[in-house]
A and B are shown apart, each in its own frame.
Chain A
Amino acid sequence: MRPVRTVLAGALLGTLALAGCGQTGTTAGPAAPSSAASSTAPAAGGFPVTVEAANGKVTIPKRPERIVSLSATHTETLYAIGAGSQVVAVDDRSNYPPEAPTTELSGFKPNVEAIVAQKPDLVVVSDDIDDIVSELGKVNVPVLHQPAATNLDEAYEEISELGAATGHQAEAGKVVADMKSAIDDVVSKAPKDAELTYYHELDQTPYAVTSKTFIGQIYGMFGLTNIADKAPDAAGGYPKLSAEFVAQADPDLIFLADVKCCQQNKEALAARPGWKNLSAVKNDRVIELDDDIASRWGPRVADLAKSIGAAVADAARAKTDGAS
């Protein structure tokens, strides 16, 4: 069972979401009759199947053949678990894998008529904007609302649930297992005693992330200390940091997640006022991440972990070399 996502789902779904988490049979989602099946049931292609999503229990009557994804993360997952051939349309932000059928559909300003025009038998969304979940429910289109994961376990669960919903449970299981082993592998190899600090930049405002965020937890697995954690809780998980604070904190590693969006790189950092003497800039410890990978919670999180692991290994080696 998935953990309660009060922040994301609670406000909108209230008791429905709470009832869907943990209890069985008391309250069911709109599209869920009294089915006892669950995502963990061995449904070897055995539709109908009922899966848990943020919008409650969702029953999918038969193997979906016309999936519409309105989330770049879920598009990546659908292709990774082998459901790509069942996908008929993805939203305008879904740019990976390249073969995904990108359309004008928007996940941020969803147009119910345009979605229904694709004759979907399953719609996957990560944000319930403009009541899209209930709007699609009115025309009897099953919707899986899988919001942004707040930790790795939730990301794994969402992949498993997409597997169950599309008839690719085994492949989804393998994707999750591969992710886990890849991440475990890089994390176990990473030196933990180097006491490295880092700063992860979302844009040049500069907005950062704290350790409480999804991506912050991944850095935490490598034993890195996040300079943004000094920001008070009132500033949220994505604080707008003071440029002079970043300069004084002088992190060992700087990870840029604003490379594609905002053309940031080591040179751009060096050109910012007061930052050219940062040790990460001088020691070439500025890591240019792929903005997309760093902002999604799909299978490519493993690639992100590998990038972090490589950077940590380099920095730790340099640090011990310098010390000895």
Chain B
Amino acid sequence: MATQARPARARPLWLAGALVLLAACMIAGMLDGAADISPWQVVLQVADWLPFTHVDSGLAPVEQGLLFELRLPRVLVAAVVGGLLAIAGAGYQGVFRNPLADPYLLGAAAGAGLAATAAIVLLPSASVPVAAFAGAVGGVFLAYTLGNTAGRSGGTATLVLAGVAVTSFLTAIQTVLQQLEVEKLQRIYAWILGDLGGGWDQLLLVLPYAAVSAVLLLLHGRMLDVLSVGDEEAAGLGVRAGRVRFVVLLAASLATAAAVAVSGLIGFVGIVVPHVVRRLAGGSYRIVLPLSLIGGAAFLVLADLVARTVLAPAELPIGVVTMFVGAPFFVAVLRMTRRVVT
């Protein structure tokens, strides 16, 4: 795949296009919502927030508050979470050289699910994000340790198997736990299906991890390209495959844990977005990683807009939307690109 990477000069165009798309999605996400506020009033209100401008949007304080404290951070959280899941997915796919790898492959989802369930059952509700983060990191750590001690070092196959084992083991415990506390089942279920609400607190919580992990991953694009030709060839080029894999896994897992902590288990973004990007813009990780980051952000902002508005004033769980919208979209892209190739 890497050998078919598009010429480097196509890159800025793709990035610019993706950024325009993201901006369009975020503006759309800001303009519509369950509260009955006209897009024009939103525009006026946003203009009022800008420094040195005073515009009267005609909105009540409660409405101004909901735009600033609910809708705006929600769009931003959706963008950050979507970007993180997609770039983490791309990272995992690069490490495992398997297009079906996703951010939850190594037990991050199961670990976060168990920890969040335990927090919902046992602890005050404010502790759920921290617990989910710790759980996701713990799940990956468990799978990684297990995979590296059980198999020969550096192999990715044993790592995947360890991930499967850890996932089913932790999920079993989680199921028992939720069975014991049936009246909290709805809350656990709601968490698992994902929620991007929560305001600025959630955004501030996720942002440091997002920045560190995204930068780390973006810096490893070239290394992943080299890895894709094989460990021995990579060694010939002076790249230490094991070390690259470790750093990328670490960064991708950090990204996943941060995303899961603030949003629950949103499926499909991490696998579908890198795929679509690869189909459209070529297989080089130097382009797949940044485009996944931007594309994932745009996709989740859009999916959340659907989740917020299609049943308004009720909401659909975001995880349902990503799977429902994402799957046919994915199939369409696969078909489209196949026709081009043949």
Contact = CB atoms under 8 A, between A and B. Distances in A.
Interface of A: 93, 106, 108-109, 202-205, 207, 228, 230-232, 234-235, 239-245, 247-250, 261-263, 272-274, 276-278
26 contacts: A93-B182, A93-B183, A108-B179, A109-B179, A202-B186, A203-B187, A207-B186, A207-B190, A231-B312, A231-B313, A231-B314, A232-B314, A242-B313, A242-B314, A242-B315, A244-B66, A247-B62, A247-B63, A248-B35, A262-B187, A273-B73, A273-B197, A274-B65, A274-B69, A276-B65, A277-B61
A228 B67 CA distance: 20
B35 A273 contact: no
B176 to A, nearest CB: 10
Contacts, number: 106
Contacts of B315: 240-242
Contacts of B275: none
Contacts of A109: 179, 182
Nearest to B185: A108
Interface residues of B, number: 39
Contacts of A202: 186
Contact of A243 (B37, B62, B70, B125): B70
Contacts of A205: 186-187, 190, 195
Contacts of B314: 231-232, 235, 239-242
A93 B179 CA distance: 13
Interface stretch (B131-139, B198-206, B294-302, B328-336): B198-206
The residue among A109, A228, A242 with the most chain B CB atoms within 10 A of its own CB is A242
A247 to B, nearest CB: 4
Contacts of A273: 69-70, 73, 197-201
B311 interface: yes
A248 B63 contact: yes
Contacts of A243: 66, 70, 197
Contacts of B184: 261
B313 to A, nearest CB: 4
A139 to B, nearest CB: 24
B70 A244 contact: yes
A245 B34 contact: yes
Contacts of A276: 65
A230 B35 contact: no
Contacts of B179: 108-109
Nearest to A295: B183
A262 B187 CA distance: 10
A242 B33 contact: yes
Contact of B65 (A232, A241, A245, A277): A277
> Which 5 pairs of residues, A with B, have the shortest CB-CB distance?
A273-B199, A242-B34, A235-B314, A245-B313, A239-B314
Nearest to A206: B197
A244 B33 contact: yes
Given A239-B313, A241-B313, 16 more contacts: A202-B186, A205-B187, A205-B195, A231-B311, A231-B314, A241-B314, A242-B312, A245-B35, A245-B313, A247-B63, A247-B65, A261-B187, A263-B124, A273-B73, A273-B197, A274-B62
Contacts of A248: 34-37, 62-63, 66
Contact of B186 (A203, A228, A239, A249): A203
A263 B65 contact: no
Given A109-B179, A203-B187, A234 B63 contact: no
A231 B182 CA distance: 26
A247 B66 contact: yes
Contacts of B62: 247-248, 250, 274, 277-278
B28 to A, nearest CB: 16
Contacts of B182: 93, 106, 108-109
A262 B121 CA distance: 9
Contacts of B308: 242
The residue among B37, B65, B66, B69 with the most chain A CB atoms within 10 A of its own CB is B66
Contacts of A106: 182
B29 interface: no
A274 B70 contact: yes
B70 A247 contact: yes
Nearest to A109: B179
Interface in B283-307: none
A292 to B, nearest CB: 10
A248 B63 CA distance: 6
B189 to A, nearest CB: 10
Contacts of A262: 125, 187
